Amino acid sequence: MNNDDIIRRDLAVLWHPCTQMKDHETLPLIPIARGEGAWLTDFKGRRYLDAISSWWVNLFGHANPHINRRLREQLDSLEHVILAGFTHEPVVRLSEKLVEITPPGLERCFYADNGSSAVEVALKMSFHYWRNRGQRRKTRFITLASSYHGETLGALSVGDVPLYRETYEPLLLRPLIAPSPDCFHRAAGEDWHDYSIRQFAAMEALLERHHQETCAVIVEPLVQCAGGMRMHHPVYLEKLRAACDRYGVHLIADEIAVGFGRTGTMFACEQAQISPDFLCLSKGLTGGYLPLSVVLTTNEVYDAFYDDYGKLNAFLHSHSYTGNALACTAALATLELFEQRDAINANRALAGRMRAATAHLADHPHVAEVRQQGMILAIEMARDRSTREPYDWRERRGLRVYRHALSRGALLRPLGNVVYFMPPYVVTPEEIDFLAEVATEGIDIATGES
Ligand code: PMP
C-alpha cells in the first residue's frame, strides 16, 4: 500500500464527513498507516502531530499500550452482547466507576454509541420524564446561541450553527435560543465573571416566561467547542443550575467534548460545583478508541420510568451496539490511565506550557484573542484586532493555517478563523512549543495577505 494508491481508491468509493469532496481536487487526503502517542504516520513515513486529538477523542495517545493490552484480553472472552435482558462485566464496572467519578446525584447510566445519540437520549428522557409525571405541556428545550450538540435531527435542532440550522430548518424542532455567555463579546475592561452574569439575565427571562412549556436547558459547560472554542465563566452554570431548580426545568450538560479533563477538571461542571440532571459523555470516554456514549441521570428521573409494564412508562430507546463490551473495556482502561498517570494534575503543567508558548500571539496584529480553559487553547484571528472585525468566511484563512501545519508535520484544523490546540495528554512540552511555532507561522501566512 502506498499513499497515492490509497488516495485514488478512497476517492473512488468514499464520501468523507464534514467535507466538500470537491476540495480534494486540490487538497490532498492524508492516508494514515499508523499512530503512536500523539503522532500519526502516513505510508511514506511522514509524521503529523495530532494537535486536535483526532476530533477531540484521543486522550492518552494512539496505539496506547495499556488500552491495547486490555482490549486484547477482552477480545478473547466477549466482543459484544445485546444489552437488553443481558449484561456483562465491562459495562457494570464502567457504570459503577462513572457514577463514582461524576458529580454527585448522577446514579444511573444509559448507553448509546456516539455523542449525537447521547443528546437524543437526554432530550427524549427529559421530555418523557415530564410526560410520565403528568406534565404534558412540557415539549420544548432552551439552548444557547452558537451551541453545537451533534448532527442527528434532535441534536441538530438544539444546536445553533447558522449554516446547519438554515439548511435543515424545515426538519428541525424549534428550541428557544438564549444569548450565549461567550466572553469573546464582553466589553473592554469587563471580566469573564461579570460578562457571564450579565448574559445570564436573558436566560433567566426566558425561563421565567417559558418554564411551563420547557423540558430542559441544554448547555456545553465552559466551552462551546464547535462554535469556535468560545468560553464562559463557571458562574453562568451556577446561576443556571439554581434557576432550573427554581423554575422546575431540567439541566442537560453536554460534556461530550469537554469531559474527561479537557477544561482542567475531570468534568467542566465541577468548576461550578453543580450536578446536572443529565450528563452526556462520549469522545474521550473510550480514550479515542471506539464509539461509545453514555447519559448519566438521577434516581429521581429513573424512578419516573420504573413502573408495572402495563402502564407503558418505560423509556423507549435502544441502539444495537449499546454498551459494547470492547468499547466499555477501552473506557475502563482509559480511566485506569487517569489514575496511574495522575493525569488531571499532570495536565496543569502542559496547560501552563500551552499558555506560555502562545503568549506572544496576544500582540499579533491579526489576533483578536488568545483564550484558554485547561487543555483547550484557542487563538482567534481577525481582520482588525482592535475592532475584532472577523475575516470573511469565504477567505478560508483557517484552511491556510491547516495547509501550512500539514507541510510542517502538524495536524491543526481551525474552526473558521479560530486556530486551537486540544492535544492528547501524552503531548510533551517540546511538542507544545513546536505546535506554537507552527501555529504562529501559519497565522503569519494566513493573515499576511489581504
Ligand atoms: N456534543 C458536543 C458538545 C460535541 O462537540 C459533539 C461532537 N463534536 C457532539 C455533541 C456530537 O458527537 P458525535 O460527533 O459523536 O455524534
Give me the pLDDT at residue 450, please. 53
Do 291 and 316 reside in the same domain of the chain?
yes
Compute the average pLDDT of residues 280-302.
98
Nearest to residue 24, comparing CAs of 423, 405, 436, 399? Answer: 399
Nearest residue (CA) to ligand 1, atom 9: 150
Q: Which pLDDT does position 449 carry in this prediction?
A: 66
- Separation of 189 CA from ligand 1 center, angstroms? 33
pLDDT of 184 above 80 = yes
Average pLDDT over residues 428-434: 98
Q: Please give the span between the terminal C-alpha atoms of the chain, in angstroms, as a whole number.
A: 41
Residue 221 lies in a domain: yes
What is the chain's alpha carbon radius of gyration, rounded to the nearest angstrom?
22
| Joined grid coordinates for residue 356 | 506560555
Q: Summarize pLDDT for 330-387 with one digit per residue, the tens.
A: 999 999 999 999 999 999 999 999 999 999 999 999 999 999 999 999 999 999 998 9
Q: What Cα–Cα distance (Å) separates residue 17 from each residue in 20, 212, 330? A: 9, 38, 24
**Does any ligand 1 atom lie closer than 6 A to the CB of residue 113?**
no
Answer whether 122 contacts ligand 1 (Cβ < 6 A): no
What is the Å distance from ligand 1's center to 149 Cα?
A: 5
Of 120, 148, 219, 285, the one to substitute when testing ligand 1's pocket (max ligand atoms within 8 A of C-beta) is: 148
Residues 40 and 154 in one domain: no
Helix (H, G, I), strand (E, B) or coil at 37: strand
Atom of ligand 1 at shortest range from CA of 226: 5
Domain hosting residue 106, numbered range: 68-340
CATH number at residue 110: 3.40.640.10
Residues 400 and 285 in one domain: no
Average pLDDT, the chain: 97
Same domain, 355 and 416: yes
3-state helix, strand, coil in the chain (%, to 5): 45, 15, 40
Of 256, 269, 281, 289, the one to substitute when testing ligand 1's pocket (max ligand atoms within 8 A of C-beta) is: 256
Tens digit of each residue's pLDDT (9 = 90 or more) over 59-103: 999 999 999 999 999 999 999 999 999 999 999 999 999 999 999
pLDDT at position 1 is: 81
Give the DSSP H/E element, type plus range, for residue 141: strand 140-144
Do 312 and 434 sit in the same domain of this protein?
no
Question: Ligand 1: distance of its center to the CA of 256 in Å?
Answer: 6
Ligand 1 atom closest to Cα of residue 116: 16
Burial of 284 (0-12, 13-18, 19+ CB in 10 A): buried
Is residue 172 over pLDDT 90? yes
pTM assigned to the model: 0.98
For 405-419, write each residue's pLDDT tens digit.
999 999 999 999 999
Q: Is the CB of 257 under 6 A from ligand 1?
A: yes
C-alpha span between 338 and 345 (Å, rounded): 10
Asked, for residue 336, whether it belongs to a domain, the answer is yes
Which H/E stretch holds residue 235? helix 235-247
User: Does residue 115's CB lie within 6 angstroms of at least one atom of ligand 1?
Assistant: yes
- Work out the pLDDT band at 292, boundaries 50, 70, 90: very high
Q: Are residues 59 and 104 in the same domain?
A: no
